[in-house]
Structure 1
Amino acid sequence: MEKSFDPKIGQTMLFVRKNKQLKLREMTGGLFTESQLSKFEKGETDITVGKFFKLLEHANIYLDEFQHVYNDYILAETMEFHQELAQAYQKRDLMTLQKWLFFWKDKAKYEPDLIGNKINEIVVSSVISAVKGSVVFKENITFLMDYLDNVKEWGRFEIWIFGNCLRFFDEEALKYYAGYLLGRTNFYWNMHLNKQLVIGTYLNIIDAFLKKGNLIFAKKYINYLNELEIGPNFFYEKITLTYHRAHYQFLQHKASKQGMINCAKTLEQYGFLIESRILFEEIDKI
């Protein structure tokens, strides 16, 4: 028998709950059973409007935010790809990166009208180049820039593209797109699920300017993140910002590397072993 309700609503609620790291009992608040919520999230059963609004309340998400996530749910379905790509980059796992490159190359070949396939291929190729320390084809970066220029309102997908590939943009392009993001932060900041992505992108912008030797713009975005007051839920991001501040001090005033070393040690102490190793390797090369 055909379902008379939309199972995607429950699946979207599951996506929200997982990203907010909430347990079933925290969502239900004892007003209905965890089993009911679990079946709703799986798209097996529906719930009343009253229960639905209680879930929004307990998840601290507004209806318009939920609707945005619902309408954009296709991105949730690619979350596994994004997470695996990020982990492979951190681990310098070229085998996994090559797997995804071949996957998106095939998709782009057999579905050439879907621009997202080509973009994903270029992003993976850029991440591989970052791991290898090689260059990216200029036409690929031009392709991404043309796409970003044609999108009137960036969403998570566009921020993800920029955050992963900005290290290969020339300095003027980096300033331009970083400025665009700067002018729209309040809009993105209102979407809880975007916060970590936006913070991470700013951290990548700072890192790129530091490595290009542009200390003025690096300081500009360090100050901006300071003003945003990153919350305690973003521990890794807070330590990374502290690391960038120490890196800036080292470059600007020829200060000691100890501040950078302390950040790497803190990440190591709290279990961010891969991330700390990357920082230690970077410190050794400076």
Structure 2
Amino acid sequence: MKNTKYSEDEVAIGFVFKLLREAKGFSQEEAAGNEISVPQLSNFENGKTILVTHHFIAILNNINVDMFEFQNTYNQYLGSKDVLLFSTKVSDAIMTQNIVQLELLAKQVEDSLLLKPSNKKLKLDNIRIKSVLYFVDPTYSITGDELNFLINYLCGLKEWGMYDIRLFGQCAQFIDILKLADLVTRMTAPMQANSELHHIKLAIIQCVLNVINVFVNAKMFEHARRLIKYLEDSKIHEYFMFEKLTLIYNRANYSYRKGDKKALEAMKECLEVLKFCDCVNTANIVEKEISGLEHEKK
């Protein structure tokens, strides 16, 4: 008999936990530990009950799974019902400049928004995908109302998570320079509780690198210099080699546009590293940018 007490999404939490538990090789006894009983866990995994938050977090720890991993698996399990699933596809489509794929993803978000026009999350997703489309087709843009909605949302944040950082980075080119400077200061504020987590730290670095590019292109060199100094002082870990290389490239781009013509050679060296590492799509983008700068010089 179908469980009508809990929604399909709530029941899915237990199913996904079971998938992860079995994939990790833990028994129900090991997963339950001292937190809950085995019958409680069995009922949870079979969709008969749900668990309060502190019990759920504890049994996730018992099978060596963090919330980030669980959320990803949960999203995949729900399939097309979860609009967050397009995030990875969006990144891949940007790198390959696959506008057809991006437009399909945009349609998915728009259809969801038609059903729930006041949903804040869907409004933000819609703005995000339109901003991403701008990278491959400049005829796409966001409206003034959408931009105000985005800025008000970002300004109201007390804690910046992965979603917020990526949203900001992907929409940065549409935001007024002064407001952009204010928002990046808010995002990098030292009181952020999760800023030392590796995936959050990496997302912030990537976002700042993108904002540096926006400032350099707008010839707002002092703002760019401050962010370059911020990343230099942050001592980007060697794990993040691509980000270290991007910082070198952005610093050289900044210096070149400030008048140091020799800096173009450093940019070309970065390009050669990208080619050597077989980062084909990124290398193509960088090569076009360098070619454009050389054409301007002539």
**Aligning the two structures, in what range does the TM-score lie when normalised by the shorter sequence?**
0.7 to 0.9
Distance of 1:217 and 1:175 partners within structure 2 = 7
Letter paired with 1:274: N
Asked if residue 277 in structure 1 is aligned to residue 284 in structure 2, the reply is yes
Which residue is 2:214 aligned to?
A: 208
Q: TM-score, normalised by structure 2?
A: 0.73
Which residue is 2:129 aligned to?
A: 124
Q: What's the offset of the Cα at 1:250?
A: 0.8
Which residue is 1:91 aligned to?
A: 96
Q: How does 1:69-218 map to 2 (within 5 A)?
A: 80-134=85-139, 135-184=141-190, 187-218=193-224
Judged with a 3 Å threshold, the aligned counterparts in structure 2 of structure 1 residues 98 and 185 are, in CA distance, closer, same or farther, namely farther
- Give structure 1 stretches of 5+ with no counterpart: 15-34, 60-65
Q: What's the offset of the Cα at 1:245?
A: 1.0
Q: How does 1:224-239 map to 2 (within 5 A)?
A: 224-239=230-245
Q: Is the contact made by 1:39 and 1:45 (CA closer than 8 Å) also made in structure 2?
A: no
Cα deviation, 1:192-240, whole Å, max 9, x if unaligned, reads 2212211110111111111111111111111111111111221211111
Distance of 1:243 and 1:185 partners within structure 2 = 29
Count of matched residue pairs:
252
Which residue is 2:24 aligned to?
A: 38
Output the aligned Cα RMSD.
3.2
Which residue is 2:30 aligned to?
A: 47
Q: What's the offset of the Cα at 1:280?
A: 0.6
Which has the larger Rg? Answer: 2
Q: Is the contact made by 1:188 and 1:198 (CA closer than 8 Å) also made in structure 2?
A: no
Judged with a 3 Å threshold, the aligned counterparts in structure 2 of structure 1 residues 235 and 194 are, in CA distance, closer, same or farther, namely same
Distance of 2:159 and 2:104 partners within structure 1 = 31
Distance of 1:281 and 1:265 partners within structure 2 = 13
Q: Is the contact made by 1:264 and 1:279 (CA closer than 8 Å) also made in structure 2?
A: yes
Judged with a 3 Å threshold, the aligned counterparts in structure 2 of structure 1 residues 214 and 116 are, in CA distance, closer, same or farther, namely same
